[in-house]
Amino acid sequence: MDGLYIKKNEGISLEAGIESVGSLRLLAQAGGLEVMRQSILKGATVWITPAEDVETLEFFYILSGALEMKVDGSPQQLAAGDSFYVHGLRDELLIRARQSTELLYITNRPLFDSLFGFQDDLTNLLRQIDEKDHYTYAHSVHVMCYSAKILEQMALDGMDTATVSLDTLMVASLFHDIGKCFVPDEILKKRQPLTKSEQRFIVRHPMDSARILKQRFDEKIVEIARNHHERLDGSGYPFGLIGDEISVEARMIGVADSFDAMTTDRGYNRQMGCLEAAEELYALKDRYDRRVTGALLTLARSGALEEIRKGDGSARP
């Protein structure tokens, strides 16, 4: 019949680069209008960013499940049958799935292809990490989740985070260690302390991360990943930057990175509990930004960080 289009359960599907997030499927498109079905797994966090085109409208209808979003600092609960749309959005909107959720997603501007290309880059990079060393993959996902939580807590604490893009932070934190693809396996997977000559390979990885990310992402993401091992007192690497020479995003990922290393058993370290590690980082005020470690400590005391670690069974009291 003219004008009728039937689409069975097939077609282009965009699987999230992180298995614990969900997927996006294109159902129909015409004249700039796109209809998609989005799946978000329980506990996953996604975000909606302001569109470059101010006329872009994005409509979401909850088919099943339950979501939570924060609007002007107040949590809003949404369930099956509820809907919302964004038009002229100025700030990033963070959404968390309280249950596994299915959404009907409609936009008046073509977005799927750009999302697909961006996601394809992410998936390829993640595959490189996982094939090289699964620990580094799990660590990268943890650091991304911790960084997002820290940003959220800093905002709740009344700090000015308006200049921090959640989108940029998430990508930089997820791929901060992609440069370890160039570290020899026998060094990367070694469960004993590294020798000085072996440490030189590790110290080089932020520069290698920057070199890989520069091929795909903007300079801000490159800078954050390159500087995540820099410390306020100049004791970090690769450049020995100090104070304001280090962006707040790099400071946040530096704290998240150190925290995950301290709370993970790597064979040569004493694995700490979340609260103990957060307290130790907070005490190192010359190296780490107190605004960041203070937010981390608040999260540790609330138990929010344990929830992230439960995904792989490595949480400790």
Residue 13 · residue 23 · CB < 8 Å: yes
Q: Please tell me the predicted confidence (pLDDT) of residue 234.
A: 97
- Nearest partner of 52 among 90, 107, 105, 24, judged by Cα: 90
Region of residue 297 (left: phi > 0; alpha: psi -120 to 50; beta: else): alpha
Which residues are identified as catalytic?
Answer: 180
Token output for 286: 């010359």
Distance between start and end Cα atoms, the chain: 63
pLDDT single digits (tens) 73-130: 788 899 999 999 998 888 778 788 889 999 999 999 887 766 656 666 666 777 777 7
Q: Please tell me the predicted confidence (pLDDT) of residue 239.
A: 95
Q: Please tell me the predicted confidence (pLDDT) of residue 186.
A: 85
Q: Please tell me the predicted confidence (pLDDT) of residue 19.
A: 45
DSSP-derived secondary structure for 79-95: ETT-EEEEES--S-EEE
Could you give the CA distance from residue 269 to residue 317 in angstroms, rounded to a whole number?
17
Q: What is the distance, to the nearest Å, from the Cα of residue 77 to the centroid of all Cα atoms in its chain?
A: 23
Q: Please tell me the predicted confidence (pLDDT) of residue 172.
A: 93
Could you give the CA distance from residue 29 to residue 32 in angstroms, rounded to a whole number?
7
Considering only CA atoms, give the Rg of the chain: 21
Q: Please tell me the predicted confidence (pLDDT) of residue 12.
A: 43
pTM value is: 0.70
pLDDT single digits (tens) 138-174: 888 899 999 999 998 998 888 988 888 888 898 899 9
**Cis before 206 (ω within 30):** no
- Nearest partner of 103 among 49, 55, 148, 46, judged by Cα: 46
Give the residue ranges of the chain where pLDDT is below 70: 1-22, 113-123, 267-268, 310-317
Q: For residue 296, give the 3-state DSSP assignment.
A: helix
| Domains contained in the chain, CATH given | 13-110 (2.60.120.10), 116-312 (1.10.3210.10)
Q: Which residues of 118-147 are buried (b: 16+ CB within 10 A; e: fewer)?
A: ebebbeebbebbeebbeebbbbbbbbbbbb
